[in-house]
């Protein structure tokens, strides 16, 4: 048994593994992809808080794959990514 490490998740945009806390968690709410609050139930996907990853995931239809069906990206996801990015720069 190894020591407990930070949980890692894979970004659906760039496929890199990062600590869960570094990623934006997304969930499917009635066909819309929205940022999930901590502990929200259901299937979720993770994305780096970077515009490039958001665009890559969108182009590769990674959202539909992650949520197993057609979904639309809620503008709140863009805001969550932008907010995360500006927090880091502060």
Footprint on this chain of Zn ion (rule: CB under 5 A): 11, 13-14, 48, 53
Least distance CB 30 / Zn ion (angstroms): 25
Within 1-90, strands assigned E span 8-10, 17-19, 24-29, 32-35, 44-47, 72-73
Is the CB of residue 32 less than 8 Å from the CB of residue 71? yes
Please identify, using beta-carbon distances, which residue of 48 and 66 lies nearer to Zn ion.
Answer: 48
- Shortest approach of Zn ion to residue 17 CB, angstroms? 10
Min dist CB 70 to Zn ion, Å, is: 22
| Count of other CB atoms within 10 angstroms of residue 38 | 5
Q: Report, in Å, the least distance between residue 46 CB and Zn ion.
A: 9
Question: Which lies closer to Zn ion via its Cβ, residue 13 or residue 35?
Answer: 13
Residues 63, 34: contact at Cβ < 8 Å?
Answer: no
Q: State the Cα–Cα distance between residues 50 and 80, nearest whole angstrom.
A: 10
Nearer to Zn ion, 17 or 43 (CB): 17
């Amino acid at each position: 048994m190894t020591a407990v490490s930070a949980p890692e998740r894979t970004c659906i945009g760039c496929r890199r593994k990062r600590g869960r806390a570094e990623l934006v968690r997304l969930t499917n709410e009635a066909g819309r992809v929205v940022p999930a609050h901590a502990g929200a139930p259901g299937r979720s996907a993770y994305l780096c808080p970077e515009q490039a990853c958001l665009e890559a995931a969108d182009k590769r239809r990674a959202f539909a794959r992650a949520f197993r069906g057609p979904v639309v990206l809620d503008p709140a996801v863009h805001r969550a990514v932008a907010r995360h990015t500006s927090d880091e720069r502060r």
